[in-house]
Amino acid sequence: MATTSEKKKLVFVTGNKNKLAEVQSIFKDVIDIDSHKVDLPELQGTSQDIAAQKCKMAADIIQGPCITEDTCLCFNAMNGLPGPYIKWFHESVGLDGLNKMLVGFDDKSGYALCTIAYCEGPGHEPVIFEGITKGNIVPARGPTYFGWDPVFQPEGFDQTYAEMPKDIKNTISHRFRALEKLKAYFLD
């Protein structure tokens, strides 16, 4: 394992302090994460298009290499929506509203998708790393400080993301799975 002095450094451009805390915690022994707080504009499109565009803009703003990430919550009954628009759906209808969106469907399954983009700097094409965790949309349980964590119950668990200890979420989450791929890209 790398010693502290050999640790690689990465700048994570995000406006979300909860994402930053999870990324720092998952990478704590391997990669030093510096943060740069910018609320980046997000285009419409596929999760990969959105992630790539976000990262290009971030690299232009900080004039250097960086990572960004975009998170989707996808309902299978709705062919993947709200997907990248989950932030606006959550802000508009709340956790209860997210459940009510599925009232007319028997299928409550879905998945959390994390798309991390790494850009070497201005003018470079970002590289994309995806992580998926499957689960079900359930009535809210647990603390409400991070997004839709209380309504997402990962497959194989009887707790929602919000109810489970952080160190469990951080070994099964969509974010953890995408970061594993990013780590392999940098360290292997």
Ligand X SMILES: O=c1[nH]c(=O)c2ncn([C@@H]3O[C@H](COP(=O)(O)OP(=O)(O)OP(=O)(O)O)[C@@H](O)[C@H]3O)c2[nH]1
Contacts with ligand X, residue ranges (CB under 6 A):
14-16, 19, 39-40, 42, 69-71, 86-87, 90, 146-149, 161, 175
Phi-psi region of 71 (alpha: psi -120 to 50; beta: other; left: phi over 0): beta
Closer Cβ to ligand X, 56 or 70, answer by number: 70
| CB of 40 vs ligand X, minimal distance in Å | 6
Q: Write out 123-149 in H/E/C secondary structure.
A: CCCCEEEEEEEEEEECCCCCCCCCCCH
Q: Which residue ranges make up the annotated binding site for ITP?
A: 14-19, 54, 70-71, 146-149, 169, 174-175
Nearest to ligand X by Cβ — which residue?
147
| CB of 132 vs ligand X, minimal distance in Å | 12
Q: Which residue ranges make up the annotated binding site?
A: 14-19, 42, 54, 70-71, 146-149, 169, 174-175
Closer Cβ to ligand X, 97 or 187, answer by number: 97
Question: Any idea which residue has 């009510």 for tokens?
Answer: 100
